[in-house]
Amino acid sequence: QEWLFITEETGEQVQMAYADEFAKIIDEKSGGNITVTTYEYGGLGTEKDQIVQLQEGTVQLAVTSPGFIGNTIKESQIFGLHFLFPDSVEKTHEILTESEAINEDLVKQYEAIGVKPLSFWTEGAMQWTSNKPLESPADFENFKMRTQGSDLQNESYQAYGANPDGYSWGELYTALENGTMEGQENPIFFIADASFHEVQDYMTLSNHNNYVASTTVNQEWYEGLTEDERALVDETVDELQSWVFEEQKRQNDEYLSVIEETTEIIELTEEQRAEFEKLATPIRDYYRENISTVDGAILDKLEQEIEEMTAE
C-alpha cells in the first residue's frame, strides 16, 4: 500500500528531511510492503490547501504549522505567543514532547476537525530579518511584517506597533525584494535555504519564539489502520522526535555562517529583549479573552507545566 505525506517545505529542509526519514523507516520496518510518498510544498497547492487535503484524506500524513490553521483551530494559536517557551530550544523541545496541555488537550481541538496530531516539535528559535535594523519596539512602528496569518501572530506584532500581514512563504522572497513586506520571522535554516537573507539587510537574533511544527494524520485513516500498522506509525513518530531535534539543530547551526556572509547580524542585549517581552506578555490575556474557546484553559495548564519543567 501507499501512504501520501505532504510537508510545507522543500528540498532537504527540516520538514522534508523528517518526511523522507519517516518514509525510509516505514519502508524498512514493513519489509517494503508500505511505501510512503512524500510531497514538497507547492506540489499540492498552498499550506492552507494542504490542510484541506489532509482533512479530506487525499493525503494521509502532513507536517502542519499552527500559524496556517490557527483561524480554524483557535487554540493552536497559542504557539503565536512570543516569549512563552524558555530560551533553550532543547528545553522547549522537551516541553513540546511531554506537555499534557499540548499532547492531550490541544490534540482534542484538532480532532474536532478530523485531524490528529501525533507529535509537536520545534524547527528552532525564530529570528527577525528586515530591511532596517530592528532593535527596539520603536523600530517596528508601521513596519510591514510578514506572518503566516493567524490572528494571534498578527496581534503579537501589532503590540510592537507593526503592521503585520499573512503571506504564503512561496511568494515571500519577491514581496521582501520589492518592499511589499519589510521583514519576516523564521528559524535560521529556513531563512538561508529560502534565500530571504539575499533580499534583507539585517537579521536580529531575537529568539522571541520557536517555530513549532506538528506531525498530523487524517484521523479516520489513522483509526482505520490495523493495530500493527498503527503501532508502526506511532513507533516511528516516537523515534523521530529526538531525530528531528538533532536535524533542526544541525541545519540551524550550519546555516548561520551562510547568512553572515551577506547580512548584518544584530544581537539584542538583555534589556532590549526585555522591552519586547514586556509588550508581548499581555498578549497572553488577549489570547485567553479573544481567541481561546476554552477560556485559556490550555494556556493556564501549559504555563504551569513550563514553570515546573524549567524549575527542575
Q: Which residues bind ligand 6CS (CB under 6 A)?
A: 8-9, 47, 65, 123, 148, 169, 186-187, 190, 211
Least distance between ligand 6CS and beta carbon 251 (Å):
10
Give CA–CA dist 280/104, Å, rounded.
26
**Residue (135 or 193) nearer to ligand 6CS, CB:** 193
**Residue (196 or 299) nearer to ligand 6CS, CB:** 196
Residue partners of 240: CB distance under 8 A and separation at least 6: 18, 21, 22, 25, 119, 215
Q: Is the dihedral of CA 198, 81, 48, 144 positive or negative?
A: negative
Least distance between ligand 6CS and beta carbon 143 (Å):
17
Give CA–CA dist 61/221, Å, rounded.
9
**Residue (80 or 187) nearer to ligand 6CS, CB:** 187
DSSP characters for 230-251?
Answer: HHHHHHHHHHHHHHHHHHHHHH
Least distance between ligand 6CS and beta carbon 3 (Å):
21
Strand partners, 125: 210
**Residue (160 or 211) nearer to ligand 6CS, CB:** 211
Residue, CB closest to ligand 6CS:
169
Least distance between ligand 6CS and beta carbon 117 (Å):
16
Residue 309's H or E segment, with its range, is helix 297-311
Question: For 265, phi and psi rounded to 5 degrees?
Answer: -100, 125
Least distance between ligand 6CS and beta carbon 42 (Å):
11
**Residue (3 or 190) nearer to ligand 6CS, CB:** 190
